[in-house]
Amino acid sequence: MTTLTAKITAGKPESPWMEAWRRFRKNKLGLVGAGIVLFFILVALFAPLLAAEGINDQDFSNRLQAPSSEHWFGTDDFGRDILSRVIHGARISLWVGTFSVIGSVIVGCTLGIIAGYFGRWIDTIISRIFDIMLAFPSILLAIGIVAVLGPSLQNALIAIAIINIPTFGRLIRSRVLSVKEEEYITAAKALGMSHTRILVQHVLPNSLAPIIVQGTLAVATAIIEAAALGFLGLGAEPPNPEWGKMLSDAKMYMLQAPWMMVFPGIAIMLTVLGFNLMGDGLRDALDPKMKDV
């Protein structure tokens, strides 16, 4: 009986998600990216334990101190420990990047699914809205939105979420246009299934792969956009240790204290690199054309 069960199990087809995970594990760059992302997530989660000093503790007697055994990343113009601020800045950057993308996915996918599935005038209206939004450079549109709402971290998150809606909307729309022509969708309609049930049980699950990949890459873009808004003074307000704001504060001391700009810049670079590498790995793992021969 045991032998028979083992044979049956061995002959059982592998689930698509397990197959994708198996292919992802073979992608070394994808694993490196996932490791970098995991590292910064852990840094953000355990920031209070990792940061040796308070992020806003000022010590004017030690301002603009170079990196040393006491302050590994040096101090800024207020004598604050840069390492502690970079560590806590990971929380803000990951929070803005993750939740802005979640908002973009929810709104964009909802509009894209409606446009692709129902078509006709609904598709025309939604698609034209996407086209109008994409006609503006993303960062300029984000600046305009924050200028209307007012400079703050929450408004920067809202702006970043809004400018990424068309990307997910058009992506899911194109996928839905393909999926809804499949035979199992026709069969579901013939059986009398409601549109909502078809969308939730059939269309959406078969459209998740590109959304997961794009979502991972979009987090990297959102972190850069958040840093850009912070650099322009339209993001996190002082004394929040946001990486873009730290770069803005450091520009006056580029020659006198270059470490003020170097370490936040490296943190942004590594985080974005990690998400990009992981996104590329997920794309290869979830693409059916990349299956092993």
CATH number at residue 246: 1.10.3720.10
Look at residues 242, 241, 244, 246 and name the one whose alpha carbon lies nearest to residue 257.
Answer: 246
Look at residues 77, 84, 88, 87 and name the one whose alpha carbon lies nearest to residue 52.
Answer: 84
| pLDDT recorded at residue 223 | 92
Q: How many domains does the chain have?
A: 1
Q: Is residue 62 part of a domain?
A: no
| pLDDT recorded at residue 7 | 46
17 vs 164: CA distance, rounded Å:
26
| pLDDT recorded at residue 14 | 62
Entry pTM? 0.84
Each residue's pLDDT tens digit, 183-210: 777 787 777 777 777 777 777 777 788 8
| pLDDT recorded at residue 272 | 94
Tell me which residues of the chain have a pLDDT lower than 50.
1-2, 4-9, 292-293
Q: Is residue 211 part of a domain?
A: yes
Q: Is residue 195 part of a domain?
A: yes
| pLDDT recorded at residue 4 | 47
| pLDDT recorded at residue 55 | 77
78 vs 269: CA distance, rounded Å:
25
Q: Is residue 23 part of a domain?
A: no
| pLDDT recorded at residue 53 | 67
Domain that holds residue 42: 32-50+69-288
251 vs 261: CA distance, rounded Å:
7
Q: Is residue 75 part of a domain?
A: yes
Q: Is residue 176 part of a domain?
A: yes
